[in-house]
Structures are given as structure tokens and as C-alpha cells.
């Protein structure tokens, strides 16, 4: 079969171009582009470059990007705006992943998902053309930005307090009297409830809680992506709460009771997806976050104890969520009161410090000690004589079968 000269020339030119790009300095890889980091990490593969639009990259998003094996991260927004000391950029850089922020916004117009791009010294190349540039973040630059952000944290505390008062004014009926909590089929009266959010250290916490789950068999309420976290751990959620933008189709189809978090005016963006999958759901209109309404639901339905996994507990974590509504979480925790046990850090508290070889050595030493005690003690000698008689009788019986 003859190959046309033009076709051969095109193939050779393409090969040389690819080789030239590969030999150029910097990081060259396929680009995955999305303005929502949470959505992008679902399709980001190891060795690919993530292009995002994320002001104040939070810890959960950064850990997800690193876990996906990103070869580089380009943010057209400020990775650290100075609003508060967010930990995301530091996590990315410490993992050895190049991080460029304040990049040219036109990248979202110039680059298509799946294009092969190159990052070098803050410049983004598409082929041989420079299509954008940004600030290369290093450990030193991030530390300087974090110091400035810590200095301005007072302003955020004042804003947080103002949001808290606004939430009390608008949601006092729900927060104080439980008005608006929907009816559910799942019985929680007198039971323990485990609320799982795919947040900080959720994997370690779920693993540490396995003995507790086996013993108490709590009602499992998953908040959005927490449903997939439970499935990954081998559990099935009883209830899924949220706007369903980060829940897999598999999780929605597990048969769990579905509660869609709606706005106060009745709009529920997640309801359409649930209905498209042929599932029914109840609405829970509230201003706060989905993890808040999960706690209020469990409390209203008579749960004895609420164990929270991956939820937000500190001021920095509230701010890391990037929503003014996080003030509701603070008040929700006051409302739930002594019922709430935060599982964050349980894995570190109960992590075993005994290695497997040490444990095996301990078992072997114990068995040897017991053996020596049996041999030297009078009772042990009588027991050994009895065992010899039993063994001799067994051999005699065995030989008799073949004689």
C-alpha cells in the first residue's frame, strides 16, 4: 500500500512538532478546564493540567486536585485573596504540583478541554503560542500571603458575626421551633445518627468509626458527596441530603431517602436531576448549608446522638467553605447541643502505634511463655502426660485401621 507524499509529510511534521513540544522546558500535558473545581476533579486524570476559576482555593479542593494526580494547576482567580488564611495553595505546592494563579481570564476562551498545553515560568502555551500568564506561587510567596491574610482575619470575624445575626432573624422558626423540617420515612427516634460530609479527614474518620458503626448501627445521613464517601467505605446511606450537584448516579440509585436542599423561595436546582433519574424526593427549604439541615433533621426526629464526619468545626473551616451562610453552622451546633459529637480527628486520636511485626512478636512471646509455664509446672506435666496418652491412643487406632 502506497502512502501519498503529502500524507507522509504531514505525519512527519506532526511527529516532529510533538517531539519538539515534549523537549521544551516546563510541564506539558492535556488540559482539563472547568470553572467549578468540584466538577473538574471528577474527570481529571493523573498527569493532566487543571485550569480553574477558584478564589481562595480551599483545603478540600486542593486535596482533591492532588489526589487526582494533577501535573499542574492554573487558576484564573486569586488562589489567596487575603480574605482569610486558606490552606489550599500551600497543599498544592507542598505536593510538588506547579501552581499558577491570577492567570489571564481569556484562558477559558482560548483553551478547550482536552487541548495539550505547556506551563513554564508562569506562562501558558498552546502549541508554540503563549495564550496566557499568571503568578507562579512558591512556598515563600504563599507564606507571605498567608501572613497578610491572618492580619486581616478580624474583619472576617466581624462579617461572620453579622451573618450569624442575619441568619437568626431569617431562620428563627426553623432554628428554634423546628418549623419547616419535612417528614421522612426513616426512623431516628432514640437512635444514633451518623452524618457524613466529604470534608476534612473524612476517610480516616470513617475508618476509625468502624467498630462504633458495627456496634450501634446508626442511621446514616450523607450530605451530597458524602453518599459516595460511604459507598467507598462499604456502607449504604439511609438518607441523602443536599443539592445533588456532587452525588454520583450510583449513590442516588441506592434506594436511600432523598431530601433536596431548596432555597427559601422554593427553588430547588437539584430536584430536576433526581426526577430525571426516576427518583422521588422531599424538599427542605432553608438558608443554611446542607450539613446544617442534616443536623436539624436528625435532632428534630429524636436522634439520641449525632456523630458528624467531615463537617466544619472551626472559624477557618467555615470561611474555607467560601459562603456567608456558614454562619448557620455555628448556630446549628448550638441548637443541636450536647447530642453532637464531632468525629474529626478521631482517626488521629485512636491511630494504633503498634506495628504489625511488633504485634506478631508479642503474640509469639506470649505463646512461648505459656508453653514454658506448662512444661515446668506440676499441673502442666500432668496435662502433657494426658496429651501423650491421647496421642498414643490415636496412633494405635490409626495403625489398627490398616493392619
Lowest mean pLDDT among 95-104, 274-283, 295-304, 310-319: 310-319
CA distance 223 to 240: 6
Q: Determine if the pTM surpasses 0.85.
A: no
Cell numbers for 62, please give them: 486542593
With a CB cutoff of 8 Å and minimum separation 6, the contacts of 297 are 181, 182, 184, 221, 239, 241, 259, 284
Looking at per-residue confidence, does 278 or 166 come out higher?
278
Q: Is the pLDDT of residue 38 over 90?
A: no
pLDDT of 338-373, one tens digit each? 788 888 655 555 555 556 676 677 778 877 877 776
Residues 397, 398, 401, 403: is their CA dihedral positive or negative? Answer: negative
Helical spans, DSSP H, in 174-236: 202-208, 210-216, 226-232
Give the residue from 272, 203, 204, 205 showing the smallest Cα distance to 243. 272
What's residue 175's pLDDT?
57
CB 53 within 8 A of CB 28: no
Q: Is the pLDDT of residue 68 over 50?
A: yes
CA distance 373 to 370: 5
What's residue 17's pLDDT?
45
CA distance 54 to 395: 78
CA distance 177 to 155: 32
Place of cell 512461648: 368
Q: Which domains does the chain have, with CATH numbers?
A: 5-149 (3.50.30.10), 177-349 (3.40.50), 356-395 (no CATH)
What's residue 329's pLDDT?
66
Q: Is the pLDDT of residue 332 over 90?
A: no
Cβ-based burial of 403 (10 A; exposed 0-12, middle 13-18, buried ≥19): exposed
What's residue 321's pLDDT?
57
Sheet holding 129-133, edge to edge: 129-133, 123-126, 116-120, 27-33, 49-52, 72-75, 99-101, 135-136
CB 136 within 8 A of CB 164: no
What's residue 315's pLDDT?
59
Element (H, E) at 124: strand 123-126
CA distance 265 to 149: 35
Q: Is the pLDDT of residue 403 over 80?
A: no
Q: Is the pLDDT of residue 2 over 50?
A: no
Mean per-residue pLDDT over the chain, rounded: 82
- Biggest alpha carbon–alpha carbon distance for the chain: 98
Give the residue from 56, 63, 61, 70 showing the smallest Cα distance to 37. 61
Amino acid at each position: 500500500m502506497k502512502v501519498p507524499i503529502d500524507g507522509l509529510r504531514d505525519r512527519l511534521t506532526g511527529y516532529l512538532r510533538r517531539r519538539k513540544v515534549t523537549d521544551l522546558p516546563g510541564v506539558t500535558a492535556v488540559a482539563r478546564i472547568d470553572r467549578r473545581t468540584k466538577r473538574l476533579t471528577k474527570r481529571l486524570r493523573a498527569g493532566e493540567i487543571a485550569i480553574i476559576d477558584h478564589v481562595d482555593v480551599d483545603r478540600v479542593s486542593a486535596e482533591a486536585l492532588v489526589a487526582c494526580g494533577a501535573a499542574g494547576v492554573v487558576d484564573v482567580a486569586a488562589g489567596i485573596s487575603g480574605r482569610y488564611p486558606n490552606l489550599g495553595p500551600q497543599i498544592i505546592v507542598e505536593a510538588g504540583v506547579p501552581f499558577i494563579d491570577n492567570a489571564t481570564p481569556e484562558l477559558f476562551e482560548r483553551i478547550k478541554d482536552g487541548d495539550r498545553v505547556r506551563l513554564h515560568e508562569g506562562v501558558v502555551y498552546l502549541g508554540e503560542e503563549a495564550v496566557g500568564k499568571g503568578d507562579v506561587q512558591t512556598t515563600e510567596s504563599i507564606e507571605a500571603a498567608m501572613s497578610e491574610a491572618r492580619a486581616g482575619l478580624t474583619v472576617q470575624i466581624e462579617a461572620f458575626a453579622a451573618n450569624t445575626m442575619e441568619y437568626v432573624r431569617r431562620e428563627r422558626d426553623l432554628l428554634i421551633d423546628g418549623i419547616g423540617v419535612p417528614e421522612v420515612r426513616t426512623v431516628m427516634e432514640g437512635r444514633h445518627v451518623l452524618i457524613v460530609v466529604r470534608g476534612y479527614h473524612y476517610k480516616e474518620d470513617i475508618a476509625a468509626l468502624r467498630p462504633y458503626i458495627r456496634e450501634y448501627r446508626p442511621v446514616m445521613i450523607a450530605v451530597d458527596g458524602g453518599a459516595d464517601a460511604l459507598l467507598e467505605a462499604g456502607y449504604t446511606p439511609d438518607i441523602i441530603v443536599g443539592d445533588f450537584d456532587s452525588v454520583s448516579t450510583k449513590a442516588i440509585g441506592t434506594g436511600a431517602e432523598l431530601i433536596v436542599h431548596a432555597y427559601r423561595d422554593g427553588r430547588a436546582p437539584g430536584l430536576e436531576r433526581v426526577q430525571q433519574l426516576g427518583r422521588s424526593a422531599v424538599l427542605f427549604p432553608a438558608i443554611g448549608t446542607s450539613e446544617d439541615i442534616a443536623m436539624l433533621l436528625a435532632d428534630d426526629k429524636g436522634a439520641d446522638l449525632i456523630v458528624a464526619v467531615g463537617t466544619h468545626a472551626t472559624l477557618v473551616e467555615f470561611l474555607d467553605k467560601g459562603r456567608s451562610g456558614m454562619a448557620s453552622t455555628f448556630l446549628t451546633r448550638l441548637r443541636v447541643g450536647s447530642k453532637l459529637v464531632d468525629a474529626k480527628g478521631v482517626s488521629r486520636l485512636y491511630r494504633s502505634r503498634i506495628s504489625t511485626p511488633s504485634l506478631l512478636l508479642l503474640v509469639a512471646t506470649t505463646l512461648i511463655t505459656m508453653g514454658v509455664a506448662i512444661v515446668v509446672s506440676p499441673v502442666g506435666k500432668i496435662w502433657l502426660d494426658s496429651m501423650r496418652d491421647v496421642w498414643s491412643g490415636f496412633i494405635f487406632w490409626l495403625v489398627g485401621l490398616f493392619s
